[in-house]
Structure 1
Amino acid sequence: MTPPLPLAYATHLSRDRRRSVHTVRAYVATAERLVAFLQDHWGGPVDAAALGALNAADLRAFLAARRADGLSNASAARELSAVRGFVTFAAGAEAVPRLRGPRVKKGVPRPISPAEAVALAEEVADEGAEPWIGARDWAVLLLLYGAGLRIGEALALTGAVLPLGDTIRVTGKRDKTRVVPLLPPVRAAIDAYVAQQPWGTARGEPLFRGAKGGPLAAGVVRRSVRGARGRLGLGDRTTPHALRHSFATHLLGRGADLRSLQELLGHASLSSTQIYTAVDAAHLMDVYRAAHPRA
Structure 2
Amino acid sequence: MQYNDQVEELIAAVPNVAGWRLAALPETLSDAAIERFLNSFDRETAASLRDYAMVRCLADLGLRAAEVVQIQLDDLNWREGTLQIRRTKSRRGYIIPLPEPTGHAIADYIRSGRRATTTSRAVFVRHYAPADLPLGTGRLHKAVHDAYVRCGWTDRSGTHLLRHSVARRLLRAGSSLKEVADVLRHESIDTTAIYTKIDLRSLEAVALPWPGSKS
2:85 to 163, 170, 179: 170
* Structure 2 residue aligned with 1:190: 106
Q: Does 1:158 align with 2:75?
A: no
Q: Distance in 1 between matches of 2:194 and 2:136?
A: 28
Q: CA RMSD in A?
A: 2.5
C-alpha distance in 1 between matches for 2:64 and 2:201: 23
Structure number with larger C-alpha Rg: 2
Asked if structure 2 preserves the Cα contact closer than 8 Å seen for 1:111 and 1:283, the reply is no
Residue 113 (1) aligns with residue 30 (2): yes
Structure ranking higher in helix proportion: 1
Alignment of 1:1-295 (within 5 A): 110-123=27-40, 125-126=41-42, 131-164=45-78, 165-171=80-86, 172-196=88-112, 197-199=114-116, 205-211=121-127, 212-234=131-153, 236-281=155-200
Residues 177, 189 of structure 2: 8 Å contact kept? yes
Deviation of 1:114 (Å): 2.1
Judging changes above 3 Å, is the alpha-carbon distance between structure 1 residues 159 and 254 closer, same or farther for their aligned structure 2 residues? same
Q: Does the aligned pair in 2 maintain the 1:167–1:179 contact within 8 Å?
A: yes
- CA offsets, 1:194-239, max 9 Å, x none? 102105576x721111222211121112122222212312253343
In 2, Cα distance between equivalents of 1:282 and 1:220? 36
- Residue 178 and residue 162 in structure 1: after superposition, are their counterparts in 2 closer, same or farther (change >3 A)? closer
- Residue deviations 1:42-90 (CA, integer Å, cap 9, x gap): xxxxxxxxxxxxxxxxxxxxxxxxxxxxxxxxxxxxxxxxxxxxxxxxx
The offset of 1:156, in angstroms, is 0.7
Distance 1:113 1:273 in 2: 19
Using the size of structure 1 for normalisation, the TM-score is 0.53
2:7 alignment counterpart: none
Give the gaps of 5 or more residues in structure 1: 1-107, 286-295
Q: Which protein, 1 or 2, shows the higher relative CO under an 8 Å CA cutoff with sep ≥ 6?
A: 2
Whole-Å Cα distance in 2 between the matches of residues 114 and 121 of structure 1? 11
Aligned-residue offset at 1:283: 11
CA offset at residue 132 of structure 1?
1.8
Q: Distance in 2 between the 1:183 and 1:162 partners? A: 12
Cα 1:168–1:280, aligned 2, differ >3 Å: closer, same or farther?
same
CA contact (8 A) 2:62 2:183 kept: yes
Between the aligned partners of 2:187 and 2:62, the Cα distance in structure 1 is: 15
Name the aligned partner's letter for residue 140 of structure 1.
M
State the shift of 1:157 in Å.
Answer: 0.6
Q: Secondary structure at the match of 1:168?
A: strand
Opposite residue 239 of structure 1, the aligned amino acid is G
Q: Distance in 2 between matches of 1:274 and 1:280?
A: 11
Q: Is the 8 A contact 2:49 2:105 kept in 1?
A: yes
Secondary structure of 2:28's counterpart equals coil
Counterpart of 2:98, as a letter, is L
Name the SS of the counterpart of 1:274 in structure 2.
helix
Summarize deviations over 1:225-276 as a string: whole Å, max 9, x none. Answer: 2222123122533432211111111101111111121111111111111111
Q: Is the 8 A contact 2:65 2:141 kept in 1?
A: no
Closer, same or farther: CA 163–178 of 1 in aligned 2, 3 Å: closer
**Corresponding letter in the other structure for 1:110:** E
Tell me, yes or no, if the aligned pair for 1:194 and 1:201 is still in contact at 8 Å. Answer: no
> Secondary structure of 1:210's partner?
coil
Equivalent position amino acid for 1:237 in 2:
R
